[in-house]
Amino acid sequence: MEIKEIAERLKNGETLLYPTDTSWGLGCDAMSVVAIEKLYQIKNRSREKSMIILVDSEQRLQSIVDVPEMAWEIIDLSEKPVTIVYQNPRNLPKELLAEDGSIGIRIVKNDFCKQLIRRLNAPLVSTSANISGQKSSVHLKDISSEIKDAVDIVVDEQYATPNVYSASSVIKIWPDGQIKVLRE
């Protein structure tokens, strides 16, 4: 399936299983509340555990949040993919936000994801491709048939790139400059 068709289906509220710059993930159009709810159901995930979004560029990131200088330094210096949790995002469905109103965002490096986000013209929700509490998978072959059968689209492995990392670092930054590493 071509990226153009995947983007059109996501715009219509469908969900997908796709390769990211870390592991295979479950995702949807970040602007589709219906699709976000489907992901929570597929994962059997508590609504208290928010999901992250992927963006394709610094410009898209800046359209969603005010990016503190410290965040740019972390992004520039990080050797592995890094998800930064920002406060006070703009123009995102409340269903994506954590209880404190924050959202984790990563500028993705994977070409497939970048192209899909550009075609979709919206951020992409990303969460590990597993039932909540179970082990996540780096390879498509290791993902349960339960997950594969539950999503609307399973992206072809041809779009996957070899991943060195199974998870991103997660760092929370508050507007006053405080930083907390949530996952190394």
Residue 47: what pLDDT?
80
Catalogue all structural domains in the chain, each as residue range(s) with its CATH number.
3-183 (3.90.870.10)
Residue 1: what pLDDT?
84
Backbone conformation region of residue 18, classed left if phi is above 0, alpha if psi is from -120 to 50, else beta: beta
Burial class, 122, CB count within 10 angstroms (exposed 0-12 / middle 13-18 / buried 19+): buried
- Contacts of 130 by beta carbon, 8 Å cutoff, 6+ apart: 43, 136, 137, 143, 144, 147
Residue 53: what pLDDT?
98
Residue 22: what pLDDT?
85
64-111 pLDDT tens trace: 999 999 999 999 998 889 999 999 999 999 999 999 999 999 999 889
- Look up the pTM and report it: 0.93
Task: For strands 169-173 and 82-86, give the pairing.
Answer: parallel
DSSP string over 118-176: HHHTS-EEEEESSSTTSPP-SSGGGS-HHHHHHSSEE--GGG----S-SS-EEEEE-TT
Residue 164: what pLDDT?
54
Residue 98: what pLDDT?
94
Residue numbers in the chain where pLDDT is lower than 50:
none
